[in-house]
Amino acid sequence: MPNTKTSIPIPKAPTEAVTNRATDSNKKNAPTFVGNGGELHQTVEKKHPSLTTNQGLVIADNQNSLKANATGPTLLEDFILREKITHFDHERIPERIVHARGTGAHGYFELTHSLEKYTTAKILTKSAVQTPLFARFSTVAGGSGSADTPRDVRGFSVKFYTSEGNWDLVGNNIPVFFIQDAIKFPDLVHAVKMEPDRGFPQAATAHDTFWDFISLTPEAMHMVMWIMSDRTLPRSLSMMEGFGVHSFRLINQEGDSTFVKFHWRPKLGLQSTIWDETVKIAGADPDFHRRDMFNAINAGHFPEWELAVQLFTQEQADQFPFDHLDATKLIPEELIPLQFIGRMVLNRWPDNFFAETEQVAFCPSHVVPGIDFSNDPLLQGRLFSYLDTQLSRLGSPNFHQIPVNAAKCPFANHQRDGHMQMSQPKGRVSYEPNSLSLTSPREQPVAGFKSMSEQLVGDKGRIRPESFADHYSQARQFYLSQNKYEQSHIASALVFELSKVEHPHIREAMVGHLRHIDADLAARIASGLGIKNLPQAPKSSAPVQDFAISPALGLMNKMKDTLAGRVVGILIADGSDAETLQKVKQAIMKEGAICKTLAPKINGIYLSDATAAKIDGQLAGSPLVMFDAIVVILSEQSSKNLEKNMAATEFVRDAYNHLKAIAFDAGSKSLLDKAGIKKDAGIVATTKLKEFLTAAKIRQWSREELVSPSI
């Protein structure tokens, strides 16, 4: 085959310039020409640093590998090619088995109320100190290339770089978990992951292996209620709660222990998407949550959470009608109220996603003096598992030397060598105790970490406590604590998920479990699945208790009266009223929301005053699911023109179907009529902006029965 590149003549002048640059040191500042895919671009040499190998050797040609001749084979001698390709071949490290899809950011924690009475940990006793941190949010089931928005638990992990060492608070956006003992974790993850014989579904629980495992694991029923609720469909990472899940211990100066559970509460309140919206977001923008946080931080709208604790003694725990060491249980806030002690602010996006978000290594075993562990068997297993996972992923026991993982306080020990060792310890001594060095690190009996002194008695064995036997009471409490809309969403989610299960006996077993939680819920699911005879409930290992309703368990109760963190889309076209557009933008931005102006085309839109409008997005490429509310400002002619535009009618119809507020001017009425929009409290004229802004803060739940009748 002829070499087609030789048919394009290479001008002599640039070639000479390159040659002269190599031989004439007096021409360093002269313009030079470099080849790039057959084209030549003029550059100024001093504008860019030199491209080099990893050893610092300056590279003269980054476009062509070394060949025997112009059409000959590439030479093994080309060490520059080999270094570049070898590094590329090894760019990917094993992704996390769970929590592979993640988003991280830097920030700080500031203590506002000291817990000095309960702990010696300085991060929890020294107020008004800004402790740097790195937080990572993640989905559990999907791979690193999956979408941000599936129905899934979200990881919520924070690495505090304290003055006493790193403290990792590794949790989720749900306060309970599926299982009681860590020995079942591999089974759970194998069941929830894509089925091994077919490699799907990705990032979804709607399949046989997951529900087969759940149907045979009654302890998971409380978690099932949470994952089928709107908690697993967050609108934004900054609009979800975080929980440490387990009970931990705080140890004070006297060695006394107090149990603690950690809670993160978002400043923006809780907000979720609805199912149809979620499905469409996954297609419209798989990076929806990541992009939202990136945009918020870059715009100076820093995500913020309050840290709260539940503190209780062993004596109080003995009175609970459940065992707090059981990770499938929570402590209702009405029983042990939250105490708010500080805040976390995320104010800096990582400089490099891989180096920081991908390589950050969280371990629950990373604690500081004054914080200790409880005997929760799930936590005990995690103390081993996380460290072992990091050794596998990051390839070395020296992963703590990666900058995002490195402590910011001084650290020293006698650990040496190993793969990717970056430090260079000096001296003869690498052991302790020793008599040969006066400066080598030694143990510190007074200031060092101490585990709580605890007397342990009993028979060794693979035993599960009787106090872990109640699997349904808190699941029932959670469901009954939801309002009617939230209960309807749980029912719809269960029908959707179980409808994807191929084996009838699994569907029937799940309905049987639901009878222990709520008879009406079980009947709704059976009806939705077409099961005529309600299956028997399985034998319960403990009586199902009726706990008091807990308003704190609902999501809608925790929505904030704010537009901050929301995005409002404004649809315009040629002839849209300029004055109305300006007023609407000002009102929305005053509420702390972001405005995005959309039009049928990205350029060439002129308003009523003949000025060119700045367009943020083309209508067909900006689906409704990217916005929390919309405003439609159109001339009568533009409105009629857009009646024929499917993107326009779907844009307005989706806003209505997704229960969002819509503001409209007189000219746009025909488009709303074409889309079948029916008037309600969320459909507001632009002349009543105050009413629109109020409606935009919430969804129009009363509309839901019209657009999506409940199961």
Radius of gyration (C-alpha) of the chain in whole angstroms: 30
Question: Which DSSP helix (H) or strand (E) runs through 485?
Answer: helix 484-499
CA distance 491 to 471: 19
Angle of CA points 445, 447, 451, to nearest 5°: 70
172 has catalytic annotation: yes
Nearest to 522 by CA among 497, 549, 494: 494
The 3 state secondary structure assigned to 172-215 is ECCCCCCCCCHHHHHHHHHHHCCECCCCECCCCCCCHHHHHHHH
Q: How many CB atoms lie within 10 A of CB 542?
A: 14
Is the distance from CB of 266 to CB of 280 less than 8 angstroms? no
Q: 3-class DSSP state for residue 243?
A: strand
What ranges in 306-404 are assigned the alpha helix state H? 314-319, 353, 377-394
Instruction: Indicate which residue of 99, 106, 207, 324 is catalytic.
Output: 99
Rounded-to-integer distance, Cα 644 and Cα 647, Å:
9
Strands 371-373 and 304-312, sheet pairing: unpaired
- Dihedral sign, Cα of residue 673, residue 679, residue 683, residue 689: positive
Name every residue whose Cβ is closer than 8 Å to that of residue 200 and which is 6 or more positions away in sequence.
Answer: 194
**First-to-final CA distance of the chain:** 66
Instruction: Look up 99 and say whether it is catalytic.
Output: yes
588: part of which helix (H) or strand (E)? Answer: helix 578-590
Q: Please name which of 212, 217, 218 lies closest in space to residue 195, comparing C-alpha atoms.
A: 212
| Catalytic site residue from 166, 172, 173, 405 | 172
Active-site annotation, residues? 99, 172
